[in-house]
Structure 1
Amino acid sequence: MGTRAVVARPTPQGFTGRIFLNDGAPYTAMSVLRGFVLNVQEGDVEAAARVLIDEHPGGWIDVPDPDCRGRCLCHDAPPVNGAASTEPTTEQTASEAEYVYVLHPERLAVLVPGDDGWEEIRSTPWSD
């Protein structure tokens, strides 16, 4: 199994999102998520969040990229070890994730578990 991660949108309390099971390490996930937002959704971060979080409540095996539509746990694959849940993943329930990718309107933030909750380790703007 790949690196478990969460793709999320920011909330006043932290974040809410969906799990993805493969390619969750930053060197892959950041590129795939940027490609999805910038190329597939033409820079519309909220449209990307709707697809990744709202329209696929089971989460993802592979996040869509410009070359494929991805594989979601709610439409394309049976649940893997109970991974498909329609409950959103939040900062309190993301204990199995190694990384969280938060789709802010102006940037993509990478979070990791820290001593006092989730800590941002990297951030990249959507536009250069």
Structure 2
Amino acid sequence: MTELSTQVTSRPPPQGVLLSTRACIARPTPSGGYEGIYLHFDGAPGDKLPLLLAARRWRFRGDLEAMQTHLIDSPTTGWEEIGTDLLDGVPPVLAAKITGGQQWPSVQLGDGIPVVTTDGSTPQRDLITDATADDWDIEWVYVLDADAINVVHIPTGSRQSVRWSADLLNPLGDQRPGRRQPAPSTTPPRPAHPRRSAAR
């Protein structure tokens, strides 16, 4: 695996603002594992699950293979972030509830964040797998399966399946005691996303 590092050389973050919650968007493999692509920004379930659930229902019209191809196969190296272009076709009122009324584009790594290899070689496309996710400092993995998004929290090993039919505004469902939920993120939330809060 080519070792990559990412550096933000433009739009420096405000003091005290956390840059990223690293994640992976993946598909299941025949062996029972997964393989997928790196996602740098806003990887926590509260940000990503509503976006992914809505994208399959509207933009991809239920076509899971088309969604996997777009999110996993199309990036050259990985995603800096996935944006509200995934909400094409979502009713505007619902889209505004999902995003807080903000809009931002999907951006591949290298477009906004330079991708640098430790040995200076040209960055290569590397898929993240269940065997390598820990090496990438990934916190969350979203496995796009036929019936559900399987959410894996790498630091604790906890898993939860969120069905594609889940409530978009409360995808983690019932929070009653005894219900298994993903472990909370180990990093504090950022008050605002640098790209979304920047003047356009």
Q: Pick the TM interval, shorter chain.
A: 0.7 to 0.9
Q: How many residues align?
A: 123
Q: Is contact 1:59–1:85 with CA below 8 Å preserved after alignment? A: no
Structure 1 distance, partners of 2:36, 2:124, is 11
Q: Please report how far the alpha carbon of residue 69 of structure 1 lies from its aligned counterpart in structure 2 after TM superposition.
A: 4.6
Percent identity reads 33
Normalised to the residue count of structure 1, the TM-score between the two structures is 0.83
Q: Please report how far the alpha carbon of residue 81 of structure 1 lies from its aligned counterpart in structure 2 after TM superposition.
A: 4.9
Structure 2 distance, partners of 1:99, 1:86, is 20
SS at match of 1:109: strand
Normalised to the residue count of structure 2, the TM-score between the two structures is 0.55
Q: Is contact 1:109–1:124 with CA below 8 Å preserved after alignment? A: yes
For 2:80, which of 47, 50, 61 is the aligned residue?
Answer: 61
Structure 1 distance, partners of 2:113, 2:155, is 32
Structure 2 distance, partners of 1:17, 1:123, is 17
SS at match of 1:32: helix
Name the structure with the higher strand share.
1
For 1:103, which of 144, 150, 173 is the aligned residue?
Answer: 144
For 2:132, which of 48, 68, 93 is the aligned residue?
Answer: 93
Is the deviation greater in 46-55 or in 34-43? 34-43
Q: Is contact 1:102–1:110 with CA below 8 Å preserved after alignment? A: yes
Unaligned 5+ segments in structure 1 are none
Unaligned 5+ segments in structure 2 are 1-18, 89-103, 118-122, 167-200
Who wins on radius of gyration, i.e. which is larger?
2
- Deviation digits for residues 82-115 of structure 1, max 9, x if unmatched? 4x64011111221210010000011111001267
Q: How does 1:1-128 map to 2 (within 5 A)?
A: 1-13=19-31, 14-64=33-83, 65-66=86-87, 69-73=105-109, 76-82=111-117, 85-95=124-134, 96-113=137-154, 118-120=157-159, 122-128=160-166
Q: Is contact 2:151–2:161 with CA below 8 Å preserved after alignment? A: yes
